[in-house]
């Protein structure tokens, strides 16, 4: 199943832009996902629902897309689910101190 | 002239919200203004025009309003002009390390 349609695009670390990363972090639901990933290591999509109450799947999906396209998270298939992880090493290398300041 | 209509509202340091600050910083023109203020100390409004070329005054005014309302900058009358300064102490106290990571 390599190179299947389940593989999503992720920007290279060198292509990450600070303003894009800041925008991705500027929404409370997205910031909560990033903070939870920093603690949990990895989460499935359903586990990214806000603590304050579930949001529509389409909204959650949009948030995860924004985070992935900005380079905050990796979203890869794992069995029938998808697994999300924080791109901590890439972010720390590109924008030293930023993640530490918002987590 | 104390309390004149030239006095604009500024949020208290304790009321600053991280997501609002991140959003204010997520626009290239606003980030450039913040970086320039960090170097210059204070600037007049006209000095906040981007290096890449002038933007409409209404657009610049909107950017400065977004920065002020998020708590990034102070905008106070000085003679017939207005003077902008970065709220560095307030930001460093509320969100340690954040400014250093984006400047």
Choose between A15 and B52: higher pLDDT. A15
Q: Nearest CB to A27: which of B19, B95, B101? A: B19
In this structure, what are the phi and psi dihedrals at residue A16, rounded to the nearest 5 degrees?
Answer: -65, 135
Q: What is the mean pLDDT of residues B7-24?
A: 96
Nearest CA in chain A to B102: A98
- Using DSSP bridges, classify how beta strands A81-86 and A73-78 pair: parallel, antiparallel or unpaired: antiparallel
Q: What is the residue extent of each domain of chain B?
A: 15-102
CA distance B24 to chain A (A): 9
Which residues, in sequence order, are CB contacts of A26 under 8 Å at separation 6+?
Answer: B19, B20, B22, B23, B26
Model confidence pLDDT, tens digit, residues A3-20: 566 889 999 999 999 999
More confident residue, B6 or A30: A30
* Range with lowest mean pLDDT among B9-18, B21-30, B49-58: B49-58
Instruction: Determine the pLDDT at residue A15.
Output: 96
CB proximity B98 to A under 8 Å: yes
Quote the pTM value.
Answer: 0.93
Reported as a single tens digit per residue, the pLDDT across A71-95 is: 999 999 998 899 999 999 999 999 9
CA distance A100 to chain B (A): 8
User: Which of chain A's residues have a Cβ under 8 Å away from the Cβ of B19?
Assistant: 25-28, 31
* Number of CB pairs, chain A paired with chain B, less than 8 A apart: 50
Residues 6+ apart with CB under 8 A from A44: A78, A81, A82, A83, A84
Q: Is A97 at the interface with chain B, CB within 8 A?
A: yes
Averaged pLDDT score across all residues of chain A: 93
Query: DSSP letters along A44-92, please?
Result: EGGGGS-TT----HHHHHHHHHHHHHHTSEEEEEETTEEEEEE-HHHHH
In the predicted structure, residue B51 carries a pLDDT above the cut 90: no
| Chain B residue numbers touching A18 (CB-CB < 8 A) | 31, 102
User: In angstroms, what is the C-alpha Rg of chain B?
Assistant: 13
Mean pLDDT, range B88-98, rounded to an integer: 97
Largest CA distance in chain A: 39
Q: Which pLDDT value is given to residue A1?
A: 46
Q: Which fold has domain B15-102?
A: Arc Repressor Mutant, subunit A (1.10.10)
Place of tokens 């897309």: A65
């Amino acid at each position: 199943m390599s190179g299947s349609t389940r593989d999503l695009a992720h920007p290279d670390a060198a292509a990450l832009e600070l303003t894009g990363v800041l925008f991705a972090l500027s929404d409370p639901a997205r910031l909560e996902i990033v903070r939870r990933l920093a603690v949990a290591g990895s989460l499935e999509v359903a586990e990214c629902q806000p603590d304050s109450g579930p949001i529509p799947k389409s909204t959650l999906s949009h948030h995860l897309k924004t985070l992935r396209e900005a380079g905050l998270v990796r979203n890869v298939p794992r069995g029938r689910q998808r697994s999300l992880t924080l791109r901590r090493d890439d972010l720390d290398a590109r924008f030293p101190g930023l993640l530490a300041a918002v987590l």
